[in-house]
Structure 1
Amino acid sequence: MPHQAHLPQTRCLLAHASSSRGALAGLAGLNPPACARGRLVQWWLAPWLLAFALALYAGAALAQQSPPSASACTVEILSTTAAQEGADGSKPGPASWLPVTLPDNWARRWPEYNGAVWYRIDWRPVCPGSAGGPVHIGLTLQSIVMAGEVFVNDELIWRDQNLTEPLSRSWNMPRHWRIPASIVRDGVNTLWVRVVGVAQQTPGLGPVHLGGQQEMQKLYDDLWWSNRTLFSLNLIITSVLGGLFFCIWIVRREQTTYGWYALMSLFWVLFAANVLVTSPWPFSTTLMAGRANIIALVLYTVCFCLFTWRFGGQTLPRLERALWILSAALIATAAFAPEASLTSSLAGVTLIAAGIFLVNCLQFPVHALRTRQTQHIMLAACLLIFFMVSVHDLLLIFQFIGPGTAYTPFSSIVVSICMSAILGLRHARNVRRIESFNHELAEGIERARTDLATTLEREHALAMANTRLQERLQIAHDLHDGLGGSLVRMMAMVEQTSTPLKGQQFLSMLKLLRDDLRQTIDNGSSPGVKVPATPQEWIAPLRHRFVQLFDELDLDSTWKFPPKWHAPPSALQCLALTRLVEEALTNVVKHSRARRVQVQLVQADTTQLELHIEDNGAGFDVAAVRLAGISVGMRSMHARIARVQGTLHISSEPGRTTLTALLKLRPATQQSV
């Protein structure tokens, strides 16, 4: 059977750090030696994760069950001693050697000692049936803290790359050699291991295994799996998942949960990489690397808390502020603590960060019980697993419980996948909600489009009805103002004449009525009617008609019009003024009993046009007529002027009635558009 380098009566080392416990201690910056085979804890969170865990466990179990070769050699360990290296770099003298038990932390024996320590292991091969044949002895070292070199019977078989600062990092690097048969003696052999370390990093030598070559190779493979491969898988899975959720956060910045998870994954990778790196680069010393590792642990804890709070929808502004302040103090302690108290300072920072982590792992399940949301309960289950594993492994690291297997290398993989699956479920749910919202939005748009089409159709029908009504009103106004005025004039002529009218006169009156009716039909309110070139040309037909009537009625009329337009009115404005003059003068003939009337057009500038009509008739009560609504002509005049954006003012008293229409003129360029 193989032997570990300790007193012969003890079969297996009771290490203060087994392989996984040593790895955890190294994660915390304490770097004790590491050794033990990993056994996977079986979790119940999800069936496929359980299957994955069982597969890992089965692989490790099958590997452990391989029996050693019947012809393998065994090794008898005679003694294990250690001594400080001489001041001149020579091996210690005979009186300096002290018996030790591996794994060994020399800081307990020689506090504050920085330098090199020699370990001497005397052993003897036991190879039954060899009959003087070659002796196949294997040597497996689980850890050297920090760097070292190995000799067998004064023959160098291995040396670390850097034995001075910055030291190589062999604390979690299992190593295996097949000792050449040529250097193995039949009797007592000596294994020399020179270890270089610093007091603040728990320096020393981990378990040393000597035995048959095949068994040592198998042991080395197991150690490599638990100490290296598992952590490599952990970092790969964490990096991939963190990168995935970082990309999701980049696309959707409002989803801060994904951002904090990605940042948490980054700091976990930086923190856990301490297990795998074999050089302190980019740091110049081992202690600087240890300080940086603890800072990464603190930042990981902060991001972990913020991730769970954002995921659970917890709003804790005061607690977040306190967390950042405490984290800043811990980071300052890790960065600037003096070397004399560095070990205790880093241990204190680690314990406080671990305490924050564990408290958060407990508070979130309480929050999940209040919300009773499925995703919160799932994450709470993951955090409870984290809590139990972390407590167990912290007790191992600080030696509050006996030797055993640490579960963080296994649980972190499973729980990371679980948390990522939970985030994936949340993302899938959000995507489904967005798709549902888009579907509802599309349906709403379709309904709105249908309603809008119905509304537009109804409004179109109303607009058509209103247009027809307006056309009827317009025709009524035109008939009243045009044809009606002509009828009034003719009736007045018939009433005022003293002799019967001749046929030619009747024919002339009928032609006049026909012309007025044709003008109403053809040119009613069309904007395409041509505007007369001058004001006098515009008023000439009206003046001719009414002057004829006024002369017969012995009514004196005065017409004042400018010789040209400063700015011509539009066709609709011109038509509105025409109908206004017709209606006003018709009212003078019908109702006023006036003896004098004056029609005047004033255009002071290019922006407005004023029409004044004044008579000296009996007058009337303007307000009473408007309130009574009995004057179709007055309503028609106001409607026409308002339609062309003008205003009409009428004032009346006995002996004087004035009608004033004011029109705003548009520039010629606008009229032509």
Structure 2
Amino acid sequence: MPHQEHLPQARRQFAHRSSLRGAQAWLAALTCAVVLLLLAACPALAAEGSAPSTLRAEAVRGTGWNDTAPPAEGWTPVALPDSWATRWPGFDGVVWYRLTWEQPEQAREAGLLLHYLNMAGEVSLNGTTISRDESLVEPLTRAWNTPRYWLLAPPLLKTGTNTLLVRVSGLFAYQAGLGPVSLGTPAAMQAKFDGERLVRRDLQVLGLAVSAAASAFFAALWLLRRRETAYGWFALMSVLWLVFGYNQIATSPWPFASNHAWQALNTSTLLVFSVSYVVFALRFCGRRMPRLELAALLLAAAGVLDLWLAPVADLIEHRAIWTMLGGLTVIAVNGISIVHALRHRDSPMRPLAPFMAISALTGAHDLLVFTQVIDSNTYYTTMSSYVLLLGMALTLAAQFVKSLKRIENFNTELIEEVNAAKAELAATLAQQHALELAHARIGERVNLVSDLHDGLGGMLVGSIATLEHKPDNLGAPELLAMLKRLRDDLRLIIDATGDDHGARALGELLVPMRHRSAQLLDANGIDCRWEVSGIETLELPPSQSLDLMRFLQEALTNALKHSASRRVDVKVARAGAELQLSVRDDGRGFAVEDQTAGAGLRSLRTRARRLGAELHLQSRPGETRVALRMPLAG
């Protein structure tokens, strides 16, 4: 019969070592509990050794698949459980088993338990049929893992000699024969039957149901997290194990017409499962071994092709070889994973090592059953699969608890980080504020120096030039006028550094400066001509007005100090949303591109930037022009 291997289940675990140790303790405890449950639920282990001494068993070969009655001669005593492959090698067909016992007169009823028959059969008591499988010829009913129980009572059960006749249709390659038969009190036989059904059917169905749920769950996890390839391989393993384990409860070889094809499918599934198990174990440990994986895949593919292309006569040997190879591969993966978990404390296999040990033990047991070293047909790996799923669930639960704790601590960590960020930001803002304050003070000082240079400086230059030009012709009134002009210029600076609520028209501010500059230029023999238009009602903030006044003042001072010109033309005009200023002289000119320009040109450029205006400088011998174009706010 087919060998069943376990479905190991796992997932990479990154929990702290303390969480791992706690999870391992729970895993070990649950493992022991499940093992004890399995042992307690397996009375067949003690009962399968031999048939009860009250029953006498004989067997005889039938003459054909459609026999309806046993031969009269050729009966041979047998011991149950019986596999006829050793007695009649290569025989496929019908074997009749006859069991007789003496029923005491005082016993009114008895319980009869037939643990299994392989592959399909018909049972009659004292000539009355009490059980018959659906198909007694190929495709045979697969009743090999089905226990049967009857409550016998008169008139079916009679006092004295009773004869139980069992017709078994089977194939020698799959351990064809009859299992143990137990006779006793109804209560005792019912209890034995319940234990047999639990092991052979109920736990098998439970294992398959858990495998189906695991395949769906881990397939969904893999679809949501494609980088977790271990999830995908585990889902594939679960599906393959579901197909392979279905052999334990299947009652028909459908959709195939023979049990040989069914067994080829079963062994092929085991081979592919073993390869998937190898890849899963590597992915779960975060490793890749392309050559090993490719070799395993090619070997499995060769096995599958061999199973499906081999002649039916050779299928038995081929199936045995590939089944052993697949089973040993899974056992080897379990063993290597356990060794890795023991040698590496941080191995993700560590919490699953106890479950893999159970898987290795049950797999070894089932291989011994498959090779008939152990005289039984009870397989345990399908039942052990849900134990491994339990380990997988606990592994994921430990990971979930760790994540939940991190989520619970997230608010506290976030508040601490926010407070730290706020403190750091406050310190940075305080430092930035201090720097801005210092920068503002320096800027104010620079502006004040620039205003003094362009205003008082220009007035002083003009006054000095006047004194040098007419040292003997200046009386007290002229000197007093010079001092008043200096006072007016100083007042202009003071007004501009105050608030912006006392805005005055630009034309009104331009009148005294125009008068003063014309006097200075005339006193030095320079003809100054003004053209002013559109600014009589133009009001600007005092700071802008001062910058404009200082711009004009510096341009005129430069013409007075450096140009040696005889004529200066000044134009101040409003053109739509733009204010245009220009100062033109006929002096010697200067190099506009000179990077070593004096404080006057630097002041002109600085004020243009502060006003958001465009500055244009053009100069050549005989003509120098300084122009400013400033956009006006709406």
The one of 215, 220, 228 aligned to 2:193: 220
Counterpart code for 1:148: G
Q: CA deviation at 1:75?
A: 7.7
Which residue in the other structure is 2:604 paired with? 637
Residues 540, 425 of structure 1: CA spacing in aligned structure 2 closer, same or farther, 3 A cutoff? Answer: same
How does 1:110-121 map onto structure 2 within 5 Å?
117-121=94-98
Counterpart CA distance in 2 for 1:606 and 1:85 is: 121
Counterpart CA distance in 1 for 2:313 and 2:64 is: 23
Q: Determine if contact 1:78/1:122 at 8 Å carries over to the other structure.
A: yes
Q: CA deviation at 1:299?
A: 3.7
Which residue in the other structure is 2:517 paired with? 546
Which residue in the other structure is 2:390 paired with? 417
Q: CA deviation at 1:121?
A: 0.6
The one of 52, 59, 63 aligned to 1:81: 59
Q: CA deviation at 1:396?
A: 2.8
Counterpart CA distance in 1 for 2:4 and 2:170 is: 14
Counterpart CA distance in 2 for 1:609 and 1:356 is: 94
Q: CA deviation at 1:495?
A: 6.2
The one of 416, 425, 433 aligned to 1:452: 425
Q: CA deviation at 1:474?
A: 1.9
Which residue in the other structure is 2:15 paired with? none
The one of 151, 165, 185 aligned to 1:178: 151
Residues 621, 305 of structure 1: CA spacing in aligned structure 2 closer, same or farther, 3 A cutoff? Answer: closer
Counterpart CA distance in 2 for 1:49 and 1:87 is: 47
Q: CA deviation at 1:636?
A: 2.0
SS in 1 for 2:293: helix
Counterpart CA distance in 2 for 1:188 and 1:548 is: 155
Supply the RMSD in Å over aligned alpha carbons.
4.9
SS in 2 for 1:82: strand
Counterpart CA distance in 1 for 2:63 and 2:310 is: 29
Residues 370, 56 of structure 1: CA spacing in aligned structure 2 closer, same or farther, 3 A cutoff? Answer: closer
Find out whether 1:616 has 2:584 as its counterpart.
no
Which residue in the other structure is 1:47 paired with? 29
How does 1:103-182 map onto structure 2 within 5 Å?
103-106=81-84, 117-127=94-104, 130=105, 133=106, 135-163=108-136, 167-182=140-155
Counterpart code for 2:567: R
Counterpart CA distance in 2 for 1:119 and 1:579 is: 128
Counterpart CA distance in 1 for 2:4 and 2:179 is: 13
Counterpart CA distance in 1 for 2:270 and 2:576 is: 86
Residues 550, 85 of structure 1: CA spacing in aligned structure 2 closer, same or farther, 3 A cutoff? Answer: same
Residues 45, 474 of structure 1: CA spacing in aligned structure 2 closer, same or farther, 3 A cutoff? Answer: closer
Which residue in the other structure is 1:229 paired with? 202
Q: Determine if contact 2:5/2:381 at 8 Å carries over to the other structure.
A: no
Counterpart code for 2:32: L
SS in 1 for 2:155: helix
Residues 189, 401 of structure 1: CA spacing in aligned structure 2 closer, same or farther, 3 A cutoff? Answer: closer
Cα deviation per residue 1:385-421 (whole Å; 9 max; x = unaligned)? Answer: 4334422431232023566986646755545534543
Residues 592, 270 of structure 1: CA spacing in aligned structure 2 closer, same or farther, 3 A cutoff? Answer: same
Tell me whether 322-331 or 516-525 shows the greater mean CA deviation. 516-525
Which residue in the other structure is 2:558 paired with? 587
The one of 170, 179, 192 aligned to 2:165: 192
How does 1:345-364 map onto structure 2 within 5 Å?
345-364=318-337
Residues 322, 426 of structure 1: CA spacing in aligned structure 2 closer, same or farther, 3 A cutoff? Answer: farther
Tell me whether 519-528 or 444-453 shows the greater mean CA deviation. 519-528
Cα deviation per residue 1:188-226 (whole Å; 9 max; x = unaligned)? Answer: 443232334456644443333344434433332232233
Counterpart CA distance in 1 for 2:491 and 2:619 is: 34
Q: CA deviation at 1:384?
A: 4.2
- 5+ residue gaps, structure 2: 7-24
Q: Determine if contact 2:466/2:523 at 8 Å carries over to the other structure.
A: yes
Q: Determine if contact 2:146/2:200 at 8 Å carries over to the other structure.
A: yes
Q: Determine if contact 2:4/2:382 at 8 Å carries over to the other structure.
A: no
Which residue in the other structure is 2:14 paired with? none
Q: CA deviation at 1:548?
A: 4.2
Counterpart CA distance in 2 for 1:88 and 1:389 is: 39
Counterpart CA distance in 2 for 1:213 and 1:89 is: 32
What number of residue pairs does the alignment pair up?
608
Cα deviation per residue 1:336-360 (whole Å; 9 max; x = unaligned)? Answer: 5554433333322212211221222
Cα deviation per residue 1:229-274 (whole Å; 9 max; x = unaligned)? Answer: 3334444555566666666656655444444444434433332232
Counterpart CA distance in 1 for 2:457 and 2:534 is: 30
Counterpart code for 1:393: D
Tell me whether 509-518 or 222-231 shows the greater mean CA deviation. 509-518
SS in 1 for 2:421: helix
Q: CA deviation at 1:176?
A: 0.4
Q: CA deviation at 1:461?
A: 1.7
Counterpart CA distance in 2 for 1:424 and 1:112 is: 52
How does 1:509-524 map onto structure 2 within 5 Å?
516-523=489-496
Matched-pair identity in %:
35
Residues 176, 507 of structure 1: CA spacing in aligned structure 2 closer, same or farther, 3 A cutoff? Answer: same
Q: Determine if contact 1:75/1:211 at 8 Å carries over to the other structure.
A: no
How does 1:343-492 map onto structure 2 within 5 Å?
343-368=316-341, 370-373=343-346, 375-400=348-373, 408=381, 412=385, 414-418=387-391, 420-426=393-399, 428-429=401-402, 443-489=416-462, 492=465
Residues 472, 237 of structure 1: CA spacing in aligned structure 2 closer, same or farther, 3 A cutoff? Answer: same
Residues 327, 622 of structure 1: CA spacing in aligned structure 2 closer, same or farther, 3 A cutoff? Answer: closer
Q: CA deviation at 1:460?
A: 1.4
Counterpart CA distance in 1 for 2:526 and 2:365 is: 123
Residues 554, 215 of structure 1: CA spacing in aligned structure 2 closer, same or farther, 3 A cutoff? Answer: closer
Counterpart code for 1:348: I
The structure whose RCO (Cα within 8 Å, separation 6+) is larger is: 2
Which residue in the other structure is 1:555 paired with? 526
Which residue in the other structure is 1:5 paired with? none
Q: CA deviation at 1:275?
A: 1.4
Counterpart CA distance in 2 for 1:431 and 1:303 is: 32
Counterpart CA distance in 2 for 1:523 and 1:265 is: 86
Counterpart CA distance in 2 for 1:356 and 1:364 is: 12
Q: Determine if contact 1:105/1:202 at 8 Å carries over to the other structure.
A: yes
Q: What TM-score, normalized to structure 2?
A: 0.76
Q: CA deviation at 1:177?
A: 0.7
Counterpart CA distance in 1 for 2:546 and 2:38 is: 99
Residues 448, 486 of structure 1: CA spacing in aligned structure 2 closer, same or farther, 3 A cutoff? Answer: same
Counterpart code for 1:223: E
Residues 45, 625 of structure 1: CA spacing in aligned structure 2 closer, same or farther, 3 A cutoff? Answer: closer
Counterpart code for 1:84: G
Cα deviation per residue 1:266-290 (whole Å; 9 max; x = unaligned)? Answer: 4333322321343455666544543
Q: CA deviation at 1:60?
A: 6.1
Q: Determine if contact 1:27/1:274 at 8 Å carries over to the other structure.
A: no
- 5+ residue gaps, structure 1: 1-21, 29-42, 66-73
Residues 124, 364 of structure 1: CA spacing in aligned structure 2 closer, same or farther, 3 A cutoff? Answer: closer
Counterpart code for 1:47: A
Residues 441, 324 of structure 1: CA spacing in aligned structure 2 closer, same or farther, 3 A cutoff? Answer: farther
Q: Determine if contact 1:257/1:310 at 8 Å carries over to the other structure.
A: yes
